[in-house]
Structure 1
Amino acid sequence: MMDGMVAASMRNKGANYKLNWGATLPRLRDKAEELKQMFNVSCLMFNQYDLAIALWKENVRECKILATMLMPADKMLPEVVDIWMEQTDSQEIAEQASFNLYQYLPYAADKAYTWMASDKELYQLCGFHILSRLFMNKQEPNERGINEFIDQALAALEGDSLMVKKAAMNAMIRFAELGLVYERLAKSALKRANLEFF
Protein backbone atom coordinates (compact mmCIF):
# COMPACT_ATOMS: atom_id res chain seq x y z
CA MET A 1 0.00 0.00 0.00
CA MET A 2 2.98 2.30 0.39
CA ASP A 3 3.18 5.23 -2.00
CA GLY A 4 6.37 7.19 -1.44
CA MET A 5 5.36 10.03 -3.77
CA VAL A 6 2.13 10.62 -1.85
CA ALA A 7 3.96 10.48 1.49
CA ALA A 8 6.61 12.93 0.24
CA SER A 9 3.95 15.28 -1.11
CA MET A 10 2.15 15.24 2.24
CA ARG A 11 5.39 15.96 4.12
CA ASN A 12 6.09 18.89 1.78
CA LYS A 13 2.61 20.26 2.56
CA GLY A 14 3.25 20.13 6.30
CA ALA A 15 1.63 16.81 7.31
CA ASN A 16 3.94 15.53 10.03
CA TYR A 17 3.40 11.98 11.23
CA LYS A 18 5.83 9.71 13.02
CA LEU A 19 5.28 7.39 10.07
CA ASN A 20 3.36 8.00 6.84
CA TRP A 21 3.15 5.27 4.21
CA GLY A 22 1.23 7.47 1.77
CA ALA A 23 -1.56 4.92 1.34
CA THR A 24 -4.54 6.34 -0.53
CA LEU A 25 -7.95 6.58 1.12
CA PRO A 26 -9.62 4.10 -1.28
CA ARG A 27 -6.97 1.49 -0.43
CA LEU A 28 -7.45 2.14 3.28
CA ARG A 29 -11.24 1.79 2.86
CA ASP A 30 -10.72 -1.55 1.10
CA LYS A 31 -8.46 -2.72 3.95
CA ALA A 32 -11.04 -1.60 6.54
CA GLU A 33 -13.77 -3.57 4.72
CA GLU A 34 -11.51 -6.62 4.55
CA LEU A 35 -10.89 -6.40 8.31
CA LYS A 36 -14.61 -5.95 9.06
CA GLN A 37 -15.39 -9.09 7.06
CA MET A 38 -12.72 -10.96 9.00
CA PHE A 39 -14.34 -9.92 12.28
CA ASN A 40 -17.76 -11.02 11.00
CA VAL A 41 -16.69 -14.56 10.14
CA SER A 42 -14.18 -15.52 12.80
CA CYS A 43 -13.89 -15.65 16.53
CA LEU A 44 -10.75 -13.73 17.36
CA MET A 45 -9.17 -12.99 20.72
CA PHE A 46 -9.77 -9.29 20.11
CA ASN A 47 -12.59 -7.38 18.49
CA GLN A 48 -13.02 -4.48 16.11
CA TYR A 49 -13.27 -1.98 18.99
CA ASP A 50 -10.00 -3.18 20.52
CA LEU A 51 -8.24 -3.06 17.15
CA ALA A 52 -9.47 0.49 16.53
CA ILE A 53 -8.19 1.57 19.97
CA ALA A 54 -4.80 -0.08 19.34
CA LEU A 55 -4.50 1.47 15.87
CA TRP A 56 -5.36 4.94 17.17
CA LYS A 57 -2.54 4.79 19.72
CA GLU A 58 0.03 4.56 16.93
CA ASN A 59 1.24 7.88 15.58
CA VAL A 60 1.01 6.52 12.06
CA ARG A 61 -1.28 8.21 9.53
CA GLU A 62 -2.71 4.99 8.09
CA CYS A 63 -3.31 3.47 11.54
CA LYS A 64 -5.26 6.50 12.73
CA ILE A 65 -7.38 6.61 9.57
CA LEU A 66 -8.06 2.86 9.77
CA ALA A 67 -9.04 3.32 13.42
CA THR A 68 -11.73 5.83 12.37
CA MET A 69 -12.99 3.39 9.75
CA LEU A 70 -13.08 0.40 12.09
CA MET A 71 -14.39 1.87 15.37
CA PRO A 72 -18.03 0.84 15.86
CA ALA A 73 -19.83 4.17 16.41
CA ASP A 74 -22.47 2.59 18.66
CA LYS A 75 -19.77 1.31 21.05
CA MET A 76 -17.59 4.40 21.28
CA LEU A 77 -17.97 6.12 24.63
CA PRO A 78 -18.04 9.94 24.78
CA GLU A 79 -14.90 9.87 26.96
CA VAL A 80 -13.00 7.97 24.27
CA VAL A 81 -14.17 10.48 21.63
CA ASP A 82 -12.84 13.27 23.85
CA ILE A 83 -9.46 11.53 24.13
CA TRP A 84 -9.27 10.99 20.38
CA MET A 85 -10.17 14.61 19.74
CA GLU A 86 -7.48 15.81 22.17
CA GLN A 87 -4.95 13.65 20.32
CA THR A 88 -5.97 14.90 16.86
CA ASP A 89 -3.31 17.21 15.53
CA SER A 90 -3.92 17.43 11.79
CA GLN A 91 -6.70 18.58 9.51
CA GLU A 92 -6.66 15.27 7.61
CA ILE A 93 -7.21 13.13 10.70
CA ALA A 94 -9.90 15.52 12.00
CA GLU A 95 -11.76 15.30 8.68
CA GLN A 96 -11.39 11.53 8.40
CA ALA A 97 -12.64 11.05 11.96
CA SER A 98 -15.64 13.31 11.27
CA PHE A 99 -16.60 11.62 8.01
CA ASN A 100 -15.79 8.00 8.90
CA LEU A 101 -16.92 7.94 12.51
CA TYR A 102 -18.10 11.00 14.43
CA GLN A 103 -21.13 11.72 12.24
CA TYR A 104 -22.47 8.24 13.11
CA LEU A 105 -22.16 8.54 16.90
CA PRO A 106 -25.49 8.37 18.74
CA TYR A 107 -24.54 11.70 20.36
CA ALA A 108 -23.00 13.25 17.22
CA ALA A 109 -25.07 16.46 17.34
CA ASP A 110 -24.17 17.10 20.99
CA LYS A 111 -20.46 16.79 20.22
CA ALA A 112 -20.81 18.96 17.11
CA TYR A 113 -22.46 21.83 18.99
CA THR A 114 -19.87 21.63 21.78
CA TRP A 115 -16.95 21.53 19.36
CA MET A 116 -18.27 24.37 17.18
CA ALA A 117 -18.10 26.66 20.22
CA SER A 118 -14.52 25.65 21.04
CA ASP A 119 -11.62 28.04 20.59
CA LYS A 120 -9.61 25.25 18.92
CA GLU A 121 -9.64 25.14 15.13
CA LEU A 122 -9.67 21.36 14.73
CA TYR A 123 -12.58 21.04 17.16
CA GLN A 124 -14.53 23.68 15.23
CA LEU A 125 -13.69 21.94 11.96
CA CYS A 126 -15.05 18.63 13.25
CA GLY A 127 -18.17 20.29 14.65
CA PHE A 128 -19.06 21.89 11.33
CA HIS A 129 -18.25 18.75 9.35
CA ILE A 130 -20.47 16.64 11.59
CA LEU A 131 -23.39 19.07 11.30
CA SER A 132 -22.91 19.21 7.52
CA ARG A 133 -23.33 15.46 7.37
CA LEU A 134 -26.30 15.45 9.73
CA PHE A 135 -28.01 18.15 7.66
CA MET A 136 -27.26 16.18 4.48
CA ASN A 137 -29.05 13.24 6.11
CA LYS A 138 -32.07 15.50 6.72
CA GLN A 139 -31.62 15.72 10.49
CA GLU A 140 -33.27 18.99 11.42
CA PRO A 141 -32.08 20.92 14.47
CA ASN A 142 -34.49 22.21 17.09
CA GLU A 143 -34.95 25.97 17.59
CA ARG A 144 -32.10 26.23 20.07
CA GLY A 145 -29.87 24.24 17.73
CA ILE A 146 -30.78 26.50 14.81
CA ASN A 147 -29.85 29.64 16.74
CA GLU A 148 -26.64 28.13 18.09
CA PHE A 149 -25.59 26.84 14.67
CA ILE A 150 -26.22 30.17 12.93
CA ASP A 151 -24.37 32.12 15.65
CA GLN A 152 -21.34 29.81 15.54
CA ALA A 153 -21.30 29.63 11.74
CA LEU A 154 -21.34 33.43 11.44
CA ALA A 155 -18.54 33.71 14.02
CA ALA A 156 -16.50 31.16 12.05
CA LEU A 157 -17.16 32.92 8.74
CA GLU A 158 -15.91 36.16 10.23
CA GLY A 159 -12.90 34.45 11.82
CA ASP A 160 -9.34 33.98 10.57
CA SER A 161 -9.18 30.23 9.92
CA LEU A 162 -9.69 29.39 6.26
CA MET A 163 -10.36 25.69 6.92
CA VAL A 164 -13.00 26.52 9.56
CA LYS A 165 -14.59 29.16 7.29
CA LYS A 166 -14.87 26.61 4.50
CA ALA A 167 -16.39 23.98 6.81
CA ALA A 168 -18.83 26.54 8.28
CA MET A 169 -19.95 27.68 4.84
CA ASN A 170 -20.42 24.09 3.70
CA ALA A 171 -22.52 23.43 6.81
CA MET A 172 -24.54 26.59 6.12
CA ILE A 173 -25.24 25.39 2.57
CA ARG A 174 -26.34 21.97 3.85
CA PHE A 175 -28.49 23.71 6.48
CA ALA A 176 -30.18 25.77 3.74
CA GLU A 177 -30.87 22.57 1.78
CA LEU A 178 -33.08 21.27 4.62
CA GLY A 179 -35.97 23.28 3.15
CA LEU A 180 -37.30 26.71 2.31
CA VAL A 181 -37.55 27.91 5.93
CA TYR A 182 -33.93 26.91 6.58
CA GLU A 183 -32.79 28.53 3.34
CA ARG A 184 -34.46 31.80 4.33
CA LEU A 185 -32.91 31.65 7.81
CA ALA A 186 -29.45 31.06 6.34
CA LYS A 187 -29.74 33.84 3.76
CA SER A 188 -31.12 36.28 6.32
CA ALA A 189 -28.30 35.53 8.78
CA LEU A 190 -25.63 35.87 6.10
CA LYS A 191 -27.14 39.11 4.84
CA ARG A 192 -27.15 40.60 8.37
CA ALA A 193 -23.45 39.79 8.55
CA ASN A 194 -22.86 41.26 5.07
CA LEU A 195 -21.98 37.79 3.78
CA GLU A 196 -23.92 36.71 0.71
CA PHE A 197 -22.56 33.46 -0.67
CA PHE A 198 -25.62 31.78 -2.21
Structure 2
Amino acid sequence: MVSQETQDKLKEIRSSFRLLMNGPVSQSMRDKGIDYKINWGVPLMELKRMSTEYGKDYDLAIELWKDHVRECKLLATMIMPVDKMLPEITDIWMESVDNQELVEQLVFNLLQYVNYAPVIAYQWMAENRPYYQIAAYHILSRLFMNGQQPNERGINEFLDQVGVALQSNQLNVKHAAANCVQRFAQLGEVYKRMAKSALKDLIEIF
Protein backbone atom coordinates (compact mmCIF):
# COMPACT_ATOMS: atom_id res chain seq x y z
CA MET A 1 0.00 0.00 0.00
CA VAL A 2 1.51 3.31 -1.12
CA SER A 3 1.18 6.04 1.48
CA GLN A 4 -0.65 9.26 0.69
CA GLU A 5 2.57 11.19 1.25
CA THR A 6 4.39 9.12 -1.38
CA GLN A 7 1.47 9.43 -3.80
CA ASP A 8 1.53 13.22 -3.37
CA LYS A 9 5.26 13.32 -4.04
CA LEU A 10 4.85 11.18 -7.16
CA LYS A 11 2.16 13.50 -8.49
CA GLU A 12 4.32 16.54 -7.78
CA ILE A 13 7.36 15.01 -9.47
CA ARG A 14 5.46 13.94 -12.58
CA SER A 15 4.01 17.44 -12.94
CA SER A 16 7.46 19.02 -12.60
CA PHE A 17 8.79 16.86 -15.46
CA ARG A 18 6.21 18.34 -17.80
CA LEU A 19 7.33 21.84 -16.86
CA LEU A 20 10.99 20.94 -17.42
CA MET A 21 10.41 19.16 -20.71
CA ASN A 22 13.13 19.60 -23.34
CA GLY A 23 11.92 18.29 -26.69
CA PRO A 24 15.18 18.63 -28.67
CA VAL A 25 17.15 16.74 -25.98
CA SER A 26 14.53 13.99 -25.92
CA GLN A 27 14.63 13.68 -29.71
CA SER A 28 18.44 13.66 -29.73
CA MET A 29 18.43 10.75 -27.27
CA ARG A 30 16.01 8.79 -29.43
CA ASP A 31 18.21 9.46 -32.46
CA LYS A 32 21.15 7.98 -30.52
CA GLY A 33 19.18 4.86 -29.62
CA ILE A 34 18.42 5.85 -26.02
CA ASP A 35 14.78 4.90 -26.01
CA TYR A 36 12.21 5.13 -23.22
CA LYS A 37 8.45 4.80 -23.29
CA ILE A 38 8.31 8.43 -22.12
CA ASN A 39 11.29 10.79 -22.16
CA TRP A 40 10.84 14.42 -21.16
CA GLY A 41 14.47 15.29 -21.93
CA VAL A 42 15.11 16.70 -18.44
CA PRO A 43 18.89 17.26 -17.95
CA LEU A 44 20.72 15.10 -15.41
CA MET A 45 21.79 18.17 -13.44
CA GLU A 46 18.13 19.11 -12.96
CA LEU A 47 17.35 15.60 -11.76
CA LYS A 48 20.29 15.82 -9.34
CA ARG A 49 18.83 19.04 -7.98
CA MET A 50 15.47 17.33 -7.50
CA SER A 51 17.10 14.39 -5.73
CA THR A 52 18.64 16.79 -3.23
CA GLU A 53 15.26 18.39 -2.68
CA TYR A 54 13.50 15.07 -1.97
CA GLY A 55 16.40 13.39 -0.18
CA LYS A 56 16.85 9.65 0.24
CA ASP A 57 13.45 7.98 0.15
CA TYR A 58 13.07 4.22 -0.26
CA ASP A 59 9.31 4.13 -0.84
CA LEU A 60 9.44 6.95 -3.37
CA ALA A 61 12.35 5.33 -5.22
CA ILE A 62 10.49 2.02 -5.48
CA GLU A 63 7.41 3.70 -6.94
CA LEU A 64 9.41 5.90 -9.32
CA TRP A 65 11.22 2.90 -10.76
CA LYS A 66 7.89 1.28 -11.65
CA ASP A 67 7.13 4.12 -14.08
CA HIS A 68 8.29 3.56 -17.66
CA VAL A 69 9.53 7.13 -17.76
CA ARG A 70 13.18 8.10 -18.18
CA GLU A 71 13.17 10.78 -15.51
CA CYS A 72 11.35 8.61 -12.97
CA LYS A 73 13.84 5.77 -13.31
CA LEU A 74 16.89 8.03 -13.18
CA LEU A 75 15.56 9.92 -10.16
CA ALA A 76 14.87 6.58 -8.46
CA THR A 77 18.58 5.68 -8.69
CA MET A 78 19.46 9.03 -7.11
CA ILE A 79 17.14 8.88 -4.08
CA MET A 80 17.27 5.17 -3.21
CA PRO A 81 19.22 4.76 0.08
CA VAL A 82 22.25 2.55 -0.60
CA ASP A 83 21.74 0.53 2.59
CA LYS A 84 18.23 -0.40 1.46
CA MET A 85 19.25 -1.43 -2.06
CA LEU A 86 19.02 -5.15 -1.32
CA PRO A 87 20.22 -7.77 -3.85
CA GLU A 88 16.65 -8.80 -4.67
CA ILE A 89 15.76 -5.20 -5.54
CA THR A 90 18.87 -4.95 -7.70
CA ASP A 91 17.77 -8.09 -9.55
CA ILE A 92 14.31 -6.63 -10.18
CA TRP A 93 15.65 -3.28 -11.34
CA MET A 94 18.27 -4.79 -13.64
CA GLU A 95 15.59 -6.86 -15.38
CA SER A 96 14.08 -3.65 -16.77
CA VAL A 97 17.33 -1.88 -17.72
CA ASP A 98 17.29 -1.49 -21.47
CA ASN A 99 19.62 1.37 -22.39
CA GLN A 100 23.13 2.66 -21.79
CA GLU A 101 22.18 5.80 -19.87
CA LEU A 102 20.11 3.90 -17.34
CA VAL A 103 22.74 1.26 -16.63
CA GLU A 104 25.41 3.94 -16.19
CA GLN A 105 23.30 5.97 -13.77
CA LEU A 106 22.25 2.89 -11.81
CA VAL A 107 25.90 1.96 -11.29
CA PHE A 108 27.13 5.50 -10.66
CA ASN A 109 24.41 6.43 -8.17
CA LEU A 110 23.88 3.09 -6.42
CA LEU A 111 25.53 -0.16 -7.38
CA GLN A 112 29.15 0.91 -6.94
CA TYR A 113 28.35 1.60 -3.28
CA VAL A 114 26.45 -1.55 -2.23
CA ASN A 115 28.41 -3.98 -0.07
CA TYR A 116 27.81 -6.80 -2.54
CA ALA A 117 29.13 -4.82 -5.54
CA PRO A 118 32.11 -7.13 -6.27
CA VAL A 119 29.87 -10.21 -6.10
CA ILE A 120 27.38 -9.01 -8.71
CA ALA A 121 30.15 -7.56 -10.89
CA TYR A 122 31.89 -10.93 -11.22
CA GLN A 123 28.58 -12.70 -11.76
CA TRP A 124 27.39 -10.27 -14.40
CA MET A 125 30.65 -10.29 -16.35
CA ALA A 126 29.86 -13.87 -17.33
CA GLU A 127 26.23 -13.12 -18.25
CA ASN A 128 25.27 -13.34 -21.89
CA ARG A 129 23.30 -10.09 -21.55
CA PRO A 130 25.02 -6.91 -22.71
CA TYR A 131 23.60 -4.51 -20.10
CA TYR A 132 24.60 -6.84 -17.28
CA GLN A 133 28.12 -7.04 -18.69
CA ILE A 134 28.28 -3.26 -19.08
CA ALA A 135 27.09 -2.83 -15.48
CA ALA A 136 29.73 -5.29 -14.29
CA TYR A 137 32.58 -3.43 -15.97
CA HIS A 138 31.32 -0.05 -14.77
CA ILE A 139 31.11 -1.35 -11.19
CA LEU A 140 34.62 -2.78 -11.32
CA SER A 141 35.96 0.41 -12.90
CA ARG A 142 34.63 2.41 -9.95
CA LEU A 143 36.02 -0.10 -7.44
CA PHE A 144 39.46 -0.08 -9.09
CA MET A 145 39.41 3.73 -9.16
CA ASN A 146 38.82 3.62 -5.39
CA GLY A 147 41.86 1.40 -4.94
CA GLN A 148 40.08 -1.89 -4.34
CA GLN A 149 42.37 -4.69 -5.44
CA PRO A 150 41.05 -8.10 -6.53
CA ASN A 151 42.52 -11.32 -5.21
CA GLU A 152 44.37 -13.78 -7.45
CA ARG A 153 41.24 -15.70 -8.38
CA GLY A 154 39.43 -12.45 -9.10
CA ILE A 155 42.28 -11.23 -11.30
CA ASN A 156 42.31 -14.39 -13.39
CA GLU A 157 38.54 -14.37 -13.80
CA PHE A 158 38.52 -10.67 -14.65
CA LEU A 159 41.21 -10.94 -17.31
CA ASP A 160 39.57 -14.03 -18.84
CA GLN A 161 36.20 -12.28 -19.11
CA VAL A 162 37.76 -9.09 -20.47
CA GLY A 163 39.51 -11.14 -23.12
CA VAL A 164 36.13 -12.47 -24.26
CA ALA A 165 34.46 -9.04 -24.05
CA LEU A 166 37.13 -7.37 -26.16
CA GLN A 167 36.28 -9.77 -28.98
CA SER A 168 32.54 -9.17 -28.65
CA ASN A 169 30.52 -7.75 -31.51
CA GLN A 170 28.72 -5.60 -28.93
CA LEU A 171 30.63 -2.32 -29.16
CA ASN A 172 29.24 -0.93 -25.89
CA VAL A 173 30.37 -4.06 -24.02
CA LYS A 174 33.79 -3.89 -25.67
CA HIS A 175 34.13 -0.21 -24.76
CA ALA A 176 33.15 -0.79 -21.11
CA ALA A 177 35.61 -3.69 -20.83
CA ALA A 178 38.43 -1.67 -22.39
CA ASN A 179 37.88 1.23 -19.99
CA CYS A 180 37.74 -1.17 -17.07
CA VAL A 181 41.03 -2.88 -17.88
CA GLN A 182 42.69 0.53 -18.10
CA ARG A 183 41.46 1.21 -14.53
CA PHE A 184 42.77 -2.20 -13.51
CA ALA A 185 46.18 -1.37 -14.95
CA GLN A 186 46.24 1.86 -12.94
CA LEU A 187 46.20 -0.13 -9.69
CA GLY A 188 49.96 -0.51 -10.05
CA GLU A 189 52.82 -1.76 -12.18
CA VAL A 190 52.18 -5.42 -11.32
CA TYR A 191 48.56 -5.15 -12.47
CA LYS A 192 49.63 -3.35 -15.61
CA ARG A 193 52.06 -6.14 -16.47
CA MET A 194 49.42 -8.81 -15.85
CA ALA A 195 46.95 -7.02 -18.12
CA LYS A 196 49.56 -6.57 -20.84
CA SER A 197 50.53 -10.23 -20.69
CA ALA A 198 46.96 -11.54 -20.77
CA LEU A 199 45.56 -9.12 -23.33
CA LYS A 200 48.58 -8.16 -25.45
CA ASP A 201 46.90 -9.13 -28.73
CA LEU A 202 43.60 -7.43 -27.91
CA ILE A 203 44.28 -4.02 -26.39
CA GLU A 204 47.06 -1.53 -25.83
CA ILE A 205 47.62 -1.07 -22.07
CA PHE A 206 49.15 2.29 -21.31
The two structures share one fold, judged by TM-score above 0.5: yes
Equivalents in 1 of 2:125, 2:43: separation in Å?
Answer: 29
User: How far has the Cα of 1:185 moved from its partner?
Assistant: 0.7
Counterpart check, 1:4 vs 2:23: yes
Which residue of 146, 150, 154 maps to 2:163?
A: 154
135-144 or 9-18, larger mean C-alpha shift: 9-18
- Aligned AA (2:203): L
Shift of 1:14: 2.4
Among 84, 87, 100, the alignment partner of 2:96 is 87
Residues 165, 177 of structure 2: 8 Å contact kept: yes
Number of residue pairs aligned between Structure 1 and Structure 2: 187
Unaligned runs of 5+ in 2: 1-19
Helix, strand or coil for the counterpart of 2:112? Answer: helix
1:195 alignment partner in structure 2: 203
Q: Distance in 2 between matches of 1:142 and 1:50?
A: 37
Q: Which of 137, 145, 151 does residue 136 from structure 1 map onto?
A: 145
TM-score in terms of structure 1 length:
0.91
Counterparts of 1:21-170 in structure 2 under 5 Å?
21-36=40-55, 48-170=57-179
Runs of at least 4 residues of structure 1 off by over 3 A?
A: none
Shift of 1:138: 0.3
How far apart in 2 are the matches of 1:102 and 1:109?
Answer: 10
How much identity, in percent, do the aligned residues show?
59
2: distance between equivalents of 1:194 and 1:157?
A: 7
CA shift in 2, pair 1:131/1:18, >3 Å: same
Q: C-alpha separation between the residues in 1 aligned to 2:174 and 2:34?
A: 20
One-letter amino acid of the counterpart of residue 196, structure 1: E
Candidates 146, 155, 173, aligned match of 2:182: 173
Whole-Å Cα distance in 2 between the matches of residues 159 and 7 of structure 1?
Answer: 29
> Secondary structure at the residue paired with 1:23?
coil
Q: CA RMSD in A?
A: 1.1
C-alpha offsets along residues 18-71 of structure 1, whole Å, 9 cap, x if unaligned?
Answer: 2111011111111111111xx6xxxxxxxx011110000000000000111111
Cα offset, 1:197, TM superposition: 4.3
Q: Distance in 2 between matches of 1:17 and 1:186?
A: 37
The code of the aligned residue for 1:57 comes to K
Provide the rounded CA distance (Å) in 2 between the counterparts of 1:97 and 1:2: 22
TM-score between both structures, scaled by the size of structure 2: 0.88
